[in-house]
Amino acid sequence: MLTNLKEQPKDKILGLMAMYRDDPRPTKVDLGVGVYKNAEGVTPVMRAVKAAERKIVQEQTSKAYTGLAGDPAYADAMIDMLLAGAVERDRLAAAATPGGTGAIRQAFELIQMANPKARVFVSDPTWPNHVSILGYLGIEIVKYRYFDDETRAVNFGGMMADLADVTSDDVVLLHGCCHNPTGANLTLTQWQSVIDLINEKGCTPMIDIAYQGFGDGLEDDAAATRLVVQSVPEVLIAASCSKNFGIYRERTGLLIAMSEKAENTAVTQGNLNHLNRQNFSFPPDHGARVVTTILTDPELKADWMAELEETRLGMLALREQLAAELKRLSNSDRFGFLAQHRGMFSRLGTTPDLVEKIRVDNAIYMVSDSRMNIAGLNAQTVPVLAKAIVDAGV
């Protein structure tokens, strides 16, 4: 039986991780996978996470199963952080999932269960795993224009023109903040136009929010998501704690499904529970418990927010430094977009050939679509990258 299996296409982000690991050059720089690293190249365990873990170890008396949707206190804490009362709690069903990816997978399956005719509109480009999971589930994908290769900003006209094709059966997948892979984001005014179009067409928005706190701050990064839940009847939200709590390997995500009326919530919740049961039964608990402990303890929460803010400001400083260095070396403003982008990533907007040349010549690793993880840099490697970019003729 197993001999029938065909080799699977390689995931380009994970493939790059392996190539980087095997590169013997001591000066190598990893701008590939979306993992935060500090100036020493370390992905630290955040202070509040350590403290919460110590508390859990001391106080936890049982590791019996929680519930199919995880501990309700986790959903409450996350909903509070993300939506801050923007919508009535009794319209929200929620389930803990293994990471943000788990939330996305469960959301796509929920869409398929609710409406087998639904197509999912995704930004071009989007996180490659969106496309891969949709393809795996056999859900039709429609791409909408998103990134302008010239300006490296959002091609909003193209986006709206392409979204004009959605029907009431369809789902529009949007990145809540810190667009992956481009780093280019909608303004709140543009979000409002997208919301108006969604309401006009009667389609359902789905928001993937994996970087809350990495862009303009914890509150600002949730502003678009809050606006959406206040403005449309139904929403799906896939949230991740991997990045903002730095608990990547704990696989801590949440799927939220907002119904138009509170009387729908019980059935929606039942479907989320059912999906969890079919796919993995009970969701992982440790990361969720860490997050809940932090968000419900004012001191831990304040310390976590302070460290998250340091992280965010550090990435912003690297962006500014890179943009300034490129301006100096290229004698032009054409890289100014790097300081405008937000989140961990920026798409440089160059060809796979030049990305490859930069890797071969300088041991600098970025994804072939020219996505760079800004957090992979430090003050010393920024000038090295800037020189490599200009030398390659980008």
Binding site for ligand LMR (CB under 6 A): 13, 33-34, 127, 129, 180
Please report how close the Cβ of residue 127 comes to ligand LMR at its closest, in angstroms: 5
Q: Give the span between the Cα atoms of 154 and 146, in whole angstroms.
A: 6
Cα–Cα distance measured from residue 338 to residue 347, given in angstroms and rounded to the nearest whole number: 8
CB of 181 to ligand LMR, least distance (A): 7
- Is 387 tagged catalytic? no
Catalytic residue among 210, 375, 386, 392: 210
Q: Which residue is at the shortest CB distance from ligand LMR?
A: 34
Annotated catalytic residue within 148, 208, 221, 285: 208
Catalytic, 243? Answer: yes
Considering the complex, state which of residue 34 and residue 253 has its C-beta at the smaller distance from ligand LMR.
Answer: 34
Q: Which amino acid is at 224?
A: A
Closer to ligand LMR by CB, 238 or 291: give it. Answer: 238
Q: Among this protein's residues, is 12 annotated catalytic?
A: no
* Shortest Å, Cβ 37 to ligand LMR: 12
Nearer to ligand LMR (CB atom), residue 127 or residue 304: 127
44 sits in the region (left: phi over 0; alpha: psi -120 to 50; else beta) called: beta
CA separation for the pair 49, 41 (Å, rounded) = 19
Query: Is residue 208 among the annotated active site residues?
Result: yes
**Cβ distance 94 to 106 under 8 Å?**
no
**Of the two residues 133 and 228, which places its CB atom closer to ligand LMR in the complex?**
133
The span from the CA of 90 to the CA of 235, in Å, is 14
Q: Catalytic one among 77, 107, 127, 375?
A: 127
Least distance in Å: CB of 231 to ligand LMR?
Answer: 27
Catalytic residue among 107, 170, 238, 243: 243
Active-site residues, by number, are: 127, 208, 210, 243
